Amino acid sequence: MTDGCVYVFDFSLVTMRYAQLVLTLLEPTSPTEAALAAADDISREQLHHLDLLDDGTATTLYEMSGNVDRVREITAADDALIDYQISAGTDRITVYAHFEPSEELTELLEFVRTSGLILDMPIEYTDDGRVRALVIGQADTFQAALANVPGTIDVELRQLGEYEPESERLYAQLTERQQETLLAALEVGYYRTPREATQRDVADYLDRSDGTVGEHLRKIEARILTAIAPQ
């Protein structure tokens, strides 16, 4: 692992495992990525697709929020973009991009392709600009793959366990702040019937603003309801 620690796992009892990883890209993957990360009026939310094509180019599908005009300005200035499309909704901006990847990103995508692991989408951006990913794989390939992560990224292992597609994946898709907010809401009784706490009670429990907690609760509910509702 690139954080200097050696992880030893016992995979003898379980064949399918999941790992929740928080990744820090040590080098920007593209000028667009660097500019989006630095923009104060843009928040990167999720990465729904990232793939290396046979010709060496890559495609990606971003979900973000904020100033759509600033997103258009950033993407238009990136010569590495072969093609892109921007779609703006009421509270979300979606960007499809076909681009020339950096050497570091190419190395990372080649690693994912050949590691025998499955990168579960979407990938979440954390509040501090890193990315949270859920990786799934067979027990006999998991440890070897994690030990050979490219040196261009720093890896922090957050969770490790037996893969359970519904409960584990849905919870892991929440950001760290959303997970904390959900657990706090459950603890104070916000979701009990009848309801025993208010949004203000959750905010006081976490020592955060009412508006911030309200935003997290709305995103949690939207994510869970979207996941369980018929498509």
Clarify whether residues 137 and 39 are in a common domain. yes
Instruction: Render the chain in DSSP notation, one character per residue.
Output: -TTS-------SS-SEEEEEEEEEESS-SSHHHHHHHH-TTEEEEEEEEEEE-TTS-EEEEEEEEE-HHHHHHHHHT-TTEEEEEEEE-SS-EEEEEEE---HHHHHHHHHHHHSS-EEEEEEEEPTTS-EEEEEEEEHHHHHHHHTT--TTEEEEEEEEEE--TTHHHHHHTS-HHHHHHHHHHHHHTTTSSS----HHHHHHHHT--HHHHHHHHHHHHHHHHHHHS--
pLDDT of 67 > 60? The answer is: yes
Percent of the chain with pLDDT over 90: 20
Which residue, 115, 141, 163, sits at the end of a domain? 163
Flag whether 2 is in a domain: no
Flag whether 100 is in a domain: yes
Clarify whether residues 110 and 82 are in a common domain. yes
Clarify whether residues 21 and 94 are in a common domain. yes
Clarify whether residues 43 and 128 are in a common domain. yes
Flag whether 10 is in a domain: no
Q: What is the mean pLDDT of the chain?
A: 81
Flag whether 9 is in a domain: no
Task: Give the count of domains, the chain.
Answer: 2
Clarify whether residues 128 and 210 are in a common domain. no
Flag whether 3 is in a domain: no
pLDDT in tens, 77-121: 888 789 999 998 877 899 999 988 888 888 888 888 888 788 888
Clarify whether residues 159 and 222 are in a common domain. no
Clarify whether residues 70 and 183 are in a common domain. no
pLDDT of 166 > 80? The answer is: no
Which residue, 110, 138, 163, sits at the end of a domain? 163
For residues 173-202, give the mean pLDDT: 89
Judge whether 36 and 74 are in contact, CB under 8 Å.
yes
Clarify whether residues 179 and 159 are in a common domain. no
Clarify whether residues 120 and 213 are in a common domain. no
Flag whether 168 is in a domain: no
Clarify whether residues 147 and 222 are in a common domain. no
Residue 218 vs residues 129, 177, 196, 214: alpha-carbon distances, Å: 21, 13, 18, 6
pLDDT of 231 > 60? The answer is: no
Judge whether 45 and 63 are in contact, CB under 8 Å.
yes
For residues 138-146, give the mean pLDDT: 74
Flag whether 29 is in a domain: yes
Clarify whether residues 75 and 185 are in a common domain. no
Clarify whether residues 57 and 95 are in a common domain. yes
The residue range of the domain holding 44 is 16-163
Flag whether 117 is in a domain: yes
